[in-house]
Amino acid sequence: MWRDPATEREQLDGLAAELIEAGRIARAGTARREIPDRKYSAELRASLVRQMPALRTVDGLAPVPPTRPLGWVGPERRAAGRPQWGTRREWVADDDILRLQADRQEDAGPEAGRRWEAGRRWEPFAGEEDTAQETSHAAALRPAVRWHMPVRVMPARWVAVGLAASLAIASLMYGAVSIFPTAPTATAQEAVDATLTRGAVTTPLAVGAELKSGDLIEVGAAGQATIAVGKSFVRLAAGSEMQLDGLDPNHVLLSQLDGRAYHRVSVEEGGSYTVMTADVEWTAKGTAFDIDRHPWGSDGEEVRGLALLDDLSLSGPDLSESLGQGRSATIRLSGSDALEGDTTLAPITADTLADAWLIRNAELDHLAGLDLGELAALMTPTPVITPTEAPPQTEPPQQPTPTPKPTPKPTPKPTPKPTPAGPTNLGNLSIVYLAETGEYKFSWVKHTGSWTEGKTYYKLVYETWDAIPAFPGSPYWACLESRYEHTWIQEVPNGDYSVRVQVIDETNGTVVRAQTNVVRLKTLPPTEALGGLSADLSVPGRVTFSWTGYSGEWPYSYYKLVYGPAGSNPSYLTGASYLAAPGVGQTSVTIEVGAEGFAPGAELDLRIQAIGYPYDSAYAFAQTTVLMFTVPPSA
């Protein structure tokens, strides 16, 4: 019971004490949920630290740490360079590397030799250190290198002649490429939720990162990445792992350790592009192929290669096959990566091609103006999933599709052709219909590349469905200034649109840094009235409800016979229960009296609704009026 203390001071102190205690209890109650995710913390830290300038040293000479911590022998690897299952890599920020190496120096024995230290200075050999201590001449043991310029300067013309001659001889001996630096041959063109492991260090893969032989790229479960090697490139699907073994633009060698990748090959005459899956080599003779490596059985794996454009050959222990365009090969690997069983060769079927990963690659290649080969079949209109082109259903199909979603299709008219090294792909633009407000929610993957505040924006651009939206030129619904605002909700005027999000950078002119795929958005029609719902009580203990079928153009998944107490105006969209879910095309359904929710004597409101799932959300394309109904006695 509250008791007034004698003085104001005591009263206020008492209140403060209660608040302090309540704060402590409240913090304790939510403490577990207030701890940031470790991966998120490390990723953000690494991303921030990467933006810092390199450390200055006294001499202005940037220190270069060893590429891997001393004593590190690398992860255990399975055959063909594949890491052991369960190998865990931790995020390591730049300064952590230095700290780690400093720690290792303390642990290492005298054989460790020269050490890199967090203090960025060279230390003498352990043996030398001892000597230095004994003789008190430590400074003399530190290397001191100085430039020494000749006193007598040669005439300039002879210097020029000498340099030219040296370069000519060096070019002949080593080749011009070794003498004159060239642009990096391998770079990350796209990186979403992907990591780069180089030596012992794993960091998030950044767009534009230069890649080196031996690098390992891993793509997260929701990620994607594209690696360009010379004029060739490989798109890595979510969950894939690729080791870059050889990055000569004309002699590319990759090890596909896991997951799926789409390879687009462009090497000069006499060049090669080879992908290793364990001991089996897939060598491109043509320009496009897909390899899918996935678990099979208890501990084995299955690898399927698709020759999508021109030929593909595969070879391995007792294996040599050549696949013509339109053919596939499937091999199986045991737990120890040994080839197991026979190789299955088969033509690529339409079912195989009807695959989201291949469709996405087809769309991207189409936009880039590349020859599609077998994937060209995916570019033809698909009437079933395109509501405007779907023929009216005259009879019920055998198997109603559970969640029909309109999918994007390519524009039929010529469009600007971005090069493969153009904007980063942000993946799909998600559109969700919010039934409660009638608005659409657009969300996309956050752009992780460069972002200049006040100069870089997300633009939600749109066009009518027969054109590709692109800024500048296309109108837009939203312009968001923060990279962290990657969701937008608004009502959309009735229409049929192609929509995408673009990251526009206006720091130096207008540059599209990244963009999502184009998605079709056809606004939903108002719910169509189906008239009344009638009930037939002629059979005791049973009630047969019938209605007029929905014949609109939108694909619906089923009807729902929803019910609620009298006066409830039931709707599936607001959570009403249902007595039955008649399939597409049905116009009647019989309910047994006594079934759940249909007790004798119950006074119910009933209605039929044709429910579909456009834009990832349930929607009633049509519905009957409400039938006020009293359930008859059971038989």
Task: List interacting residues with other proteins (CB under 8 A).
Answer: 2, 8, 11-12, 15-16, 18-20, 22-23, 25-27, 29-30, 33-37, 40-41, 44-45, 48-49, 51-53, 55-56, 93-95, 98, 437, 439, 446, 453, 482, 484-485, 489-490
Nearer to other proteins by C-beta: 440 or 558? 440
Nearer to other proteins by C-beta: 45 or 114? 45
Q: What pairs with residue 187 in β-bridges?
A: 210, 228
Residue 450 beta carbon to other proteins: minimum distance, rounded to whole angstroms: 12
Residue 117 beta carbon to other proteins: minimum distance, rounded to whole angstroms: 13
Answer yes or no: are the C-beta atoms of 562 and 576 closer than 8 Å. yes
| Beta strands, E only, 369-429 | 424-425
Residue 209 beta carbon to other proteins: minimum distance, rounded to whole angstroms: 18
Residue 30 beta carbon to other proteins: minimum distance, rounded to whole angstroms: 7
Nearer to other proteins by C-beta: 94 or 321? 94
Nearer to other proteins by C-beta: 446 or 542? 446
- Cα-based distances in Å from 263 to 94, 160, 206, 619: 32, 46, 20, 40
Tokens of 393: 């259903």
Residue 54 beta carbon to other proteins: minimum distance, rounded to whole angstroms: 9
Q: What pairs with residue 458 in β-bridges?
A: 480, 503
Residue 12 beta carbon to other proteins: minimum distance, rounded to whole angstroms: 5
For tokens 């189906």, the residue is 530
Residue 385, helix vs strand vs coil: helix
Torsion, Cα 457 463 468 473, to 10 degrees, reads: -60
Nearer to other proteins by C-beta: 52 or 144? 52
Residue 205, helix vs strand vs coil: coil
Nearer to other proteins by C-beta: 8 or 351? 8
20-29 as b/e: b if 16+ CB within 10 A: eeeeeeeeee
Nearer to other proteins by C-beta: 25 or 139? 25
Q: What pairs with residue 140 in β-bridges?
A: none
Nearer to other proteins by C-beta: 20 or 165? 20
Whole-angstrom distance, CA of residue 80 vs CA of residue 275: 12
Whole-angstrom distance, CA of residue 84 vs CA of residue 77: 5
Residue 100 beta carbon to other proteins: minimum distance, rounded to whole angstroms: 13
Residue 33 beta carbon to other proteins: minimum distance, rounded to whole angstroms: 7
Closest CA to 314 of 299, 300, 335, 293: 293
Nearer to other proteins by C-beta: 56 or 455? 56
Nearer to other proteins by C-beta: 16 or 539? 16
Whole-angstrom distance, CA of residue 212 vs CA of residue 74: 17
Whole-angstrom distance, CA of residue 578 vs CA of residue 31: 41
Answer yes or no: are the C-beta atoms of 305 and 280 closer than 8 Å. no
Whole-angstrom distance, CA of residue 481 vs CA of residue 451: 10
Residue 324 beta carbon to other proteins: minimum distance, rounded to whole angstroms: 48
Whole-angstrom distance, CA of residue 34 vs CA of residue 36: 6
Residue 64 beta carbon to other proteins: minimum distance, rounded to whole angstroms: 16
Residue 432 beta carbon to other proteins: minimum distance, rounded to whole angstroms: 12
Q: What pairs with residue 417 in β-bridges?
A: none
Nearer to other proteins by C-beta: 19 or 529? 19
Question: What is the maximum alpha-carbon separation in the chain?
Answer: 120
Residue 584 beta carbon to other proteins: minimum distance, rounded to whole angstroms: 33
Nearer to other proteins by C-beta: 250 or 487? 487
Tokens of 448: 């992780």
- Cα-based distances in Å from 617 to 234, 397, 436, 612: 34, 23, 11, 8
What is the phi-psi region of residue 495: left when phi exceeds 0, alpha when psi lies from -120 to 50, beta otherwise? left
